[in-house]
A and B are shown apart, each in its own frame.
Chain A
């Protein structure tokens, strides 16, 4: 088991390196840089090339690319994310608040997704090809099909017009005022969670269908004892595992990928930070965010793999 864990950990490193190289190169290919974004954005007449070059030198943008890359890598090895090219502030500080929000949203959305997916999936499998099955599938696919930003706009509109509710202005962290915090995040969590439950529902349904095909279940069904058996035996455990896998894999993407949702609900999260950082060509910030999300993604993958290996010894010896 130990060697397996070590192997999986080591396998993460080349992938992370690949991600680092890819984002580094991509950013430098993209036209424009942070100095232009800062000084030319307001249309000022009097900004000189000298000033801009001066600023570039200060940020280290005039050094050769390989040097910029290695110093960044060296910093990462020390867990030093560096300093934002736009504000000059420590990146870890800038990310902290937004990370808390995105993390909470991701957890809430994943929980909602799981809570929806499991019972709905079981229901659809047990009542396969009946109208219950169809209703569940339509419901969950509708969640996949509806653009989250449109759903968000409709949600906010309904709240405004019907309930005369107005979204809170500033983000209250959970530990400051849980009730206010939940009020702010429950709506985007619902919008996002509903969407992601669809994938889980589908998975749950297929897994459950497989389980239902097993002989002992079919015998029990014929005898009328099947429901109790399903819910108490390992059958359910086997079916739930793939669902949890899917949802945990999506979790990593919920951290940085909720760009449009955050825009519509005005949430100060990692997705918005991403978009702002790219728009401003803040190389260091973008790189840091990408590495963060990629690491979370790989870590989640890693833990899922370990969980599988622990449950099924055959996998370890591959």
Chain B
């Protein structure tokens, strides 16, 4: 493969990263064998996705259905994980909660990673003054603690799922931009980028088709790490009462109020949603960790 460049090769083709031989299945199996931790992470993620997608038929009860005769009921054959302060089934709310977690997590992560990467790549590409100004702007955002920035965005926009996604994406943008910019700086010096500029391609095309694909590795790693953090941040915001609102089923929301108040007499309300959050974030982090190991050539075991 390396060494021979067909005469008809276009700049676009040359800029595409080298493809792996053998197809996807082999890659997956090798991944599981070499990185069991990552495989566990991936499995957890798949379970979450499955729960979220199939919530309708998997959940035994409607997550909004109250039952004032069965408030704060302990786990039983009727309610496997017990009921909450309104008699709502905890298991059903956890299953539907995975939907909220994934929606918010994916939404925020995608938004943050997309904007962050674009800014990082563009900044590296244009260099000079633009780079300096953008760097300063990112520095300013960086200097806010993550939760304070999220709080500020919520204060301006209000609570609710959509605004929460924006609030969580906000602190992620500068972090992503910084990491991607570092990789993009290296890519900028690559010969095919020089060739593209010499060929007269527009800035937009070069950024989107030549530079971005080649920084995919760090973006992917960031995105998976973000997803975990996004789920955690959503839980924190909901816990503070600034995120998704009742009566929507969301894990962080389930840990608020009655769960803490009745923690001693009805611990199932506090334990299970916390386990769900931890497992979810754990899965994304494990997977992201192994992904980083796999994609970072310096760390491969020889």
Interface residues in chain A, defined as those with a beta carbon under 8 Å from any beta carbon in chain B = 14-15, 18-19, 22-23, 26, 29-30, 128-129, 134, 137-138, 141-142, 144-147, 149-150, 153-154, 157, 160-161, 202, 206, 209-210, 213, 253, 255-257, 259-260, 263, 274-275, 278, 290, 293-294, 297-298
Query: What's the dominant secondary structure at chain B's contact region?
Result: helix
Nearest CB of B to A152, in Å: 10
Contact of B139 among A18, A209, A213 (CB under 8 A): A18
> Residue of B at shortest CB range from A151?
B274
Q: Kindly specify which of B1-9, B114-122, B231-239 makes contact with the partner chain.
A: B231-239
Scoring A29, A147, A160, A210 by chain B CB atoms within 10 A of each residue's CB, the highest score goes to A147
A-side binding surface: helix, strand, loop or mixed? helix
Tell whether, in the assembled complex, residue A290 and residue B144 are in contact, meaning their CB atoms are under 8 Å apart. yes
Chain A residues, CB < 8 A from B140: 15, 18-19, 22
List residues of chain B with CB within 8 A of the CB of A293. 143-145, 148
Query: B136: which A residues are within 8 A, CB to CB?
Result: 14-15, 18
CB proximity to A under 8 Å, residues B108-149: 136-137, 139-148
Q: How far is the CB of B270 from chain A (nearest CB, A)?
A: 6
- A206: chain B residues at CB < 8 Å are 296, 298-299
Please, how many angstroms separate the alpha-carbon atoms of A158 and B152 in the complex?
34
| Chain B residue nearest to A274 in the complex (CB) | B148
Contact partner, B156, options A29, A144, A146, Cβ 8 Å: A29
* CB <8 Å contact, A154 and B274: yes
Residue numbers in A under 8 Å from B236 (CB-CB) = 147, 149, 259-260
| Given A149-B239, A149-B255, A256-B145, A278 contacting B281 (CB threshold 8 A) | no
Chain B nearest Cβ from A242, distance in angstroms: 13
Chain B: CB-nearest residue to A210: B298
Question: What B residues does A30 contact at CB under 8 A?
Answer: 152, 155-156
Q: Does the CB pair B278–A141 fall under 8 Å?
A: no
A160→B143 CA distance, assembly (Å): 37
Query: Could you show 8 A-B contacts with beta carbons less than 8 Å apart?
Result: A128-B301, A137-B37, A138-B37, A141-B286, A145-B282, A150-B274, A154-B270, A253-B146
B277 within 8 A of A: yes
Compute the total of residue contacts between A and B using a CB distance below 8 Å.
130
Residues of B in contact with A (beta carbons under 8 Å apart): 36-37, 136-137, 139-148, 151-152, 155-156, 228, 232, 235-236, 239-240, 252, 255, 260, 263-264, 267, 270, 274, 277-282, 285-286, 289, 296, 298-299, 301
**A150-B277, A259-B240 are contacts. A137–B139 as well, Cβ < 8 Å?**
no
* The residue from A138, A149, A253 contacting B145, defined by CB atoms under 8 A apart: A253
Q: Is the CB of B299 within 8 A of A142?
A: no
Q: How far is the CA of A157 from the CA of B252 in the complex (A)?
A: 18
- Bound state CA distance, A92 and B262, in angstroms? 39
**Residues in A neighbouring B146, C-beta threshold 8 A:** 253, 257
> When the two chains form their complex, are residues A298 and B156 in contact, meaning their CB atoms are under 8 A apart?
no
Chain A residues within an 8 Å CB radius of B299: 206, 209-210
Query: B277, A160: Cβ atoms under 8 Å?
Result: no
Contact of B152 among A18, A260, A278 (CB under 8 A): A278
B232-A294 in contact (CB<8A): no
Known contacts A30-B156, A161-B264: does B278 contact A146 (CB below 8 Å)? Answer: yes
Which residues on B sit within 8 Å (CB–CB) of A144? Answer: 228, 281, 285
User: Hey, which chain B residues are within 8 Å of A278, CB to CB?
Assistant: 151-152, 155
Residue in B37, B148, B232, B264 whose beta carbon sits within 8 Å of that of A147 in the complex: B232
Chain B CB within 10 Å, residue with most, of A146, A255, A256 = A146
Residue of A nearest to B302 (CB): A213
Name the distance in Å between B170's Cβ and chain A's nearest Cβ.
11
CB distance from A39 to the nearest CB of B (A): 20
Considering the complex, give the chain A residue whose CB is closest to the CB of B298: A210
Known: A129-B301, A256-B145, A294-B144. A142 touches B139 (CB 8 A): no
Residues in chain B near residue A23, CB distance under 8 A = 152
Q: Is the CB of B148 within 8 A of A157?
A: no
Query: In whole angstroms, what is the CA distance A290 to B260 when docked?
Result: 30
List chain A residues, Cβ under 8 A from B228: 144-145
> In whole angstroms, how far apart are the Cα atoms of A154 and B264 in the complex?
10
Chain A neighbourhood of B278, CB < 8 A: 142, 145-147, 150
**Residue on B with the closest CB to A148?**
B236
Distance in angstroms between the alpha carbons of A15 and B37 in the assembled complex: 40
Cα-based distance from A145 to B298 in the complex (angstroms): 26
A213 and B302 alpha carbons, distance in the complex (Å)? 10
Q: Within 8 Å CB of B279, what residues of A? A: 145
| Closest A-B pairs by Cβ, 6 of them | A257-B145, A18-B140, A145-B281, A145-B282, A150-B274, A294-B143
Complex alpha-carbon distance, A293 and B278, angstroms: 29
CB contact between A145 and one of B37, B151, B152, B285 (< 8 Å): that residue = B285
Roughly how many angstroms separate A1 CA and B9 CA in the complex, as a whole number? 49
For residue B35, give the distance in angstroms from its CB to the closest CB of chain A: 9
B130 → chain A closest CB, angstroms: 15
| A256 touching B148, Cβ below 8 Å | yes
Q: Which residue of B lies closest to A249 (CB)?
A: B142
Beyond A18-B140, A137-B37, A157-B263, list 17 extra A-B contacts (CB 8 Å).
A26-B156, A138-B37, A147-B232, A147-B235, A153-B255, A157-B270, A202-B289, A209-B298, A209-B299, A210-B299, A253-B146, A260-B147, A260-B239, A260-B240, A290-B144, A290-B148, A293-B144
